[in-house]
């Protein structure tokens, strides 16, 4: 096979039709798991990078349900040192909170932020965020009809 500029000539781009996409539902228990490790696994599942037919511009990923999101942990002293900032755009409106304060005020929001920041910053990333369902407690989630598989980290 002739090689031109390092690329094979007979490679084809695979396009998967939306009707041919096989999606699964995964259940992840985030209790006592490290925040970044959970977020990277979830973003990988949402993008579909674990699938053979992965394409960076298509939504091929699976659905993910996360329970016990408020019990996610950080290593070291980051629970008191890691800060989250938000700004409304008006002068003097910068607000800062530590991980512990934000997690107490909005349980599960820290995990949502971490996952969102690992996804593409475009319409595809916004669409992929609809495929993750985050619940703060161990309560029964309303997605039992989808029969999610338990995903271990």
Model confidence pLDDT, tens digit, residues 38-69:
999 999 999 999 998 898 999 999 999 999 99
Task: Report, as an integer, the average pLDDT of 7-14.
Answer: 67
How many other CB atoms are found less than 10 A from the CB of residue 145? 7
Give the pLDDT score at 14: 74
Nearest to 47 by CA among 32, 30, 64: 64
Say which residue, 78 or 10, is predicted with more confidence. Answer: 78
- Per-residue buried b or exposed e for 57-86, using 16+ beta carbons within 10 Å of the residue's own CB: ebbbbbbbbbbbbbbbebeeebeeebeeee
Residues 87-109 pLDDT 10s: 999 999 999 999 999 999 999 99
Nearest to 133 by CA among 123, 122, 144, 124: 144
pLDDT interval class at 34 (50, 70, 90): very high
- Domain at 21-150, CATH from 3.20.20.70, 2.30.30.40, 3.90.1180.10, 3.40.50.300: 3.90.1180.10
Report d(CA 80, CA 59) in Å as an integer.
37
The CA-CA-CA angle for residues 141, 136, 150, to 5°, reads 50
């Amino acid at each position: 096979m002739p090689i031109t500029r390092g690329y094979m000539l007979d490679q084809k781009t695979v396009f998967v039709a939306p009707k041919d996409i096989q999606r699964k539902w995964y259940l992840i228990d985030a209790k006592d798991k490290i925040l970044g490790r959970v977020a990277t696994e979830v973003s990988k599942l949402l993008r579909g990078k674990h699938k053979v037919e992965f394409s960076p511009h298509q939504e091929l990923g699976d659905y993910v349900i996360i329970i016990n999101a408020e019990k996610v942990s950080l290593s070291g002293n980051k629970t008191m040192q890691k800060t989250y900032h938000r700004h409304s755009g008006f002068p003097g409106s910068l607000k800062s909170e530590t991980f512990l304060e934000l997690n107490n005020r909005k349980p599960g929001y820290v995990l949502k932020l971490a996952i969102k920041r690992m996804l593409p910053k475009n319409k595809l990333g916004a669409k992929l965020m609809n495929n993750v369902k985050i619940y703060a407690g161990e309560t029964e989630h309303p997605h039992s009809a989808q029969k999610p598989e338990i995903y271990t980290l």
